[in-house]
């Protein structure tokens, strides 16, 4: 048995000590507070509706945000050295190198596509909703990065 693996667990331990159960409890508690705060912001600045619908929308938003908010809290509180199977230096792993190459290429693709898109919108005088366009740019960047990563993994892996 590896001596380093003795203090490791499936869920890890927090940076400030304690057991895995404490880390999970704190992550869920922090996630609950974070999702409640986000739901309050959603409720205050959301669409105008009657009070009952706004409360329902806030509760649904909080419930939907709870898993992601809890996971975010877990990531910030986790001591990576206590997580079983965690790579000690993920930036130097082969997957990290593939990711860096994919992001580097996708960034250049994004610059070219945004430039050409701006040129086309300016010449053709197309009126596009800015929110829709920005969502499209983000989706394009994510898809480009994933496709590049998979291609690089297949070629180099």
| CA-wise closest residue to 99 among 154, 155, 150, 157 | 150
Residue 47: band (very low, low, confident or very high) from pLDDT cuts 50, 70, 90: low
pLDDT digits (tens, 9 = 90+) for 59-100: 888 999 999 999 999 888 887 777 777 767 776 788 889 999
Q: How far apart are the first and last CA of the chain?
A: 29
What span, in angstroms and rounded, lies between the C-alpha atoms of 147 and 92?
A: 21
pLDDT bracket for residue 34 (50, 70, 90): very high
């Amino acid at each position: 048995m590896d001596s380093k693996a003795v203090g490791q667990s499936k869920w890890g331990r927090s940076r400030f000590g304690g057991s895995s159960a404490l880390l999970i409890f704190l992550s869920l508690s922090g996630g609950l507070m974070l999702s409640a705060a986000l739901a309050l912001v959603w409720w205050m600045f959301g669409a105008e509706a009657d009070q009952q619908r706004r409360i329902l929308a806030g509760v649904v938003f909080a419930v939907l945000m709870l898993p992601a908010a809890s996971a975010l809290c877990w990531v910030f509180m986790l001591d990576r050295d206590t997580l079983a199977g965690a790579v000690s230096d993920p930036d130097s792993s082969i997957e990290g190198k593939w990711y860096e190459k994919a992001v580097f290429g996708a960034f250049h693709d994004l610059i070219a596509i945004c430039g050409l898109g701006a040129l086309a919108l300016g010449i053709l005088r197309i009126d596009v909703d800015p929110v829709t366009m920005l969502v499209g740019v983000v989706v394009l960047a994510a898809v480009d990065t994933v496709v590049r990563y998979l291609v690089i993994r297949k070629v180099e892996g």
